Amino acid sequence: MWIHLNSKMILMECFIFVMITFLMTGARCEVPEVFAEAGSQAVLPCESSRTSSAEPVIIWSKANKGTVWRRQRSGLLYRGSSWSGKGTQRVHCPHTQFEGGDYSLQINNVREDDGGVYTCSLDFEGQVVTKVVTLRIIKVSFSPEALVSGMDFSVTCNVTPWAHGASMQWMLNNSPFVPQTGIPVDRYASKSMRKKATEQLTGIWTCVVAYKGKEWRASATLSVRGIIQPPNDNTKVYAAVGSAVTLPCVFSPGITPSLPVWEKLQSGSLLKSVPGHLSPSFSPSSQSPELPWDKSASLKEVGFEDEGRYRCSATVEGQKLSRNIQLVVAQIDRSVSSKKKDSVTLTCQLSDASEVTDYEWVYVTYDINGTQSVRPIQKGKTLSISQVSEENWGEWVCLFSSKDGMLGNVTYHVQLMSGLSGQKSSGFSQNTGVVVGLSCLLIVLLLILAQMYKNHQRKKRIFQYPALETIVHTISNEREERERNHVKK
């Protein structure tokens, strides 16, 4: 209580001092305020311009706690019992600075209960100089400390003792943290925030305390365990028809999710799943003993019907975690123009092109060493090429990208054979092309054989009835003659 009065009196003195000096010099007088982050070192200033041949008696004391540190004129040191426990001295007053009139107190590894009002008293042989300093400790803490995505938690910024009129702001990973409640950012936000833990809240939380035109910071690291890959729901994964693709589902390292399940979701509905609707080329995570947190799945050969939404889910410490992933399938549609038979139009088709902002066609060739060379052709979704032209044999690749960068590509192969036979064959249906070609050939052969057999049978029949042939012949001759006569009339 007396300290309170004391500081009030000092404030008063200062006020008067300011009033006097302001008019003359514009100088300011303040009760020093020191803010320190819990665990760091705090320096409480105490400077005197008084010069004296003898060193003063120095007494640092804390309100309600008694003497912190004392130095007799003889050099004898004394530390308060609560400051010198277990062999580590947390308080120091560097002797080397005394000559310059600096009697500042250093407190290492400050704790919340170190916050309070300190008094430095210098006794220059009867003349006592007293300085008051307020030490405030800033500490960021989480409750509970170990979090799994989906749990409720609170993040608190404590200033001990609280500075009336101070304002507080949060930063997460060095960017201002705006609570997503729709409420405008309040500079005088509450000291504690309740949130639902998500992987995105992982990182360094910094509390910025502003007081009397100055800023202090304190930080703490929050780790939320959950699904780290992909980081967001409804992440799109792009794959070309016929290629292999991995659908990522990676949990935080060190945790072993139980009951992992992959499902394909019914289109249009995010909630209903279609059990057992996974394609045959779909293989869920391999149970790798080294990486039990990697539950990614893969498709060995993507078909156009594999496009859609998938869900990976598992249970971690009683929390059911899941992530929705959208597989977007790309393929090249080919159409032959009706005017020019040898020219084809290739169209880059995606099952969901909502993120795609750019299409580009490139022509890829390989030299004898297998070195790839890429030649840009044109922008746009479609491309017209001549199939029979020998210089177009190779790979036509459609690259598609969003505003953030490349998303994927899909390849159309024009091969030597297709040039000769006029048959198309593309990357994902090379085999189909060959099969169709062979089938056509077989059908043609069969037709020829059938015709030959028919002719053979007819001849055989006619030879069996030579008389009948004569009759047929005579009848037709007679009919012809009659018609001729008819025309003459």
Ligand X SMILES: *[C@@H]1O[C@H](CO)[C@@H](O)[C@H](O)[C@H]1NC(C)=O
Binding site for ligand X (CB under 6 A): 362, 364, 367-369, 371, 374, 397, 399, 409
Cβ proximity to ligand X: between 198 and 402 the closer is: 402
Instruction: Provide the minimum distance between the beta carbon of 243 and ligand X in the complex, in angstroms, as a whole number.
Output: 8
Q: Which is nearer to ligand X, 169 or 409 (CB)?
A: 409
Question: Of 48 and 409, which CB lies nearer to ligand X in the complex structure?
Answer: 409
In this structure, what is the dihedral angle of CA atoms 280, 281, 284, 286, given to the nearest 10 degrees?
Answer: 120
Taking the least distance from each CB to ligand X, the nearer of 260 and 427 is 427
Tokens of 454: 């028919």
User: What are the Cα distances from residue 234, in Å, to 136, 248, 427, 445?
Assistant: 45, 12, 29, 53
Q: At closest approach, how far in Å is the CB of 410 from ligand X? A: 8
Which amino acid is it at 139? K
Identify which of residues 257 and 408 has a Cβ nearer to ligand X in the complex. 408
- Cis bond before residue 144 (omega within 30° of 0): yes
Q: What is the DSSP string of 89-121?
A: --EE--GGGGGGTB--EEESS--GGG-EEEEEE
Cβ proximity to ligand X, 178 vs 374, nearer residue = 374
| Residue placing its CB nearer to ligand X in the complex, 137 or 327 | 327
| Residues paired with 489 in a beta bridge | none
Cα Rg, the chain, nearest whole Å: 44
Which residue, 60 or 428, has its beta carbon nearer to ligand X? 428
Burial class (CB in 10 A: 0-12, 13-18, 19+), 115: buried
- Work out how close the CB of 455 gets to ligand X at its nearest, in angstroms, rounded to a whole number: 55
CB–CB of 311/273 below 8 Å? yes
User: Given the DSSP bridges, would you call strands 116-124 and 152-160 parallel, antiparallel or unpaired?
Assistant: unpaired
Q: Which of 134, 211, 126 is nearest to 167 (CA)?
A: 211
Q: How far is the CB of 227 from ligand X (least distance, A)?
A: 23
Q: Is 304 left (phi over 0), alpha (psi -120 to 50) or beta?
A: alpha
Cα torsion 361, 366, 371, 375: sign: negative
Instruction: Work out how close the CB of 207 gets to ligand X at its nearest, in angstroms, rounded to a whole number.
Output: 43
Q: Which one, of 134, 138, 212, lies nearest residue 170 by Cα? A: 138
Query: Which residues on neighbouring strands pair with residue 451, listed in sequence order?
Result: none
Are the C-beta atoms of residues 116 and 63 closer than 8 Å to each other?
yes
Nearer to ligand X, 270 or 374 (CB): 374
- 217's tokens: 């910071």
Of 14 and 364, the one with the shorter C-beta distance to ligand X is 364
Shortest gap between Cβ of 329 and ligand X (angstroms)? 14
Q: Whole-number minimum distance, CB 349 to ligand X, in Å?
A: 16
Decide: residue 340, CB within 10 A, 0-12 exposed, 13-18 middle, 19+ buried. exposed
User: Tokens 């022509």 appear where?
Assistant: 363
CA atoms within 13 A on the CB side of 453: 6
Of 385 and 399, the one with the shorter C-beta distance to ligand X is 399
In the complex, minimum distance from the CB of residue 240 to ligand X, in angstroms, rounded to a whole number: 8
| Distance in Å, CB of 376 to ligand X, minimum | 10
Distance between CA atoms of 395 and 362, rounded to whole angstroms?
8
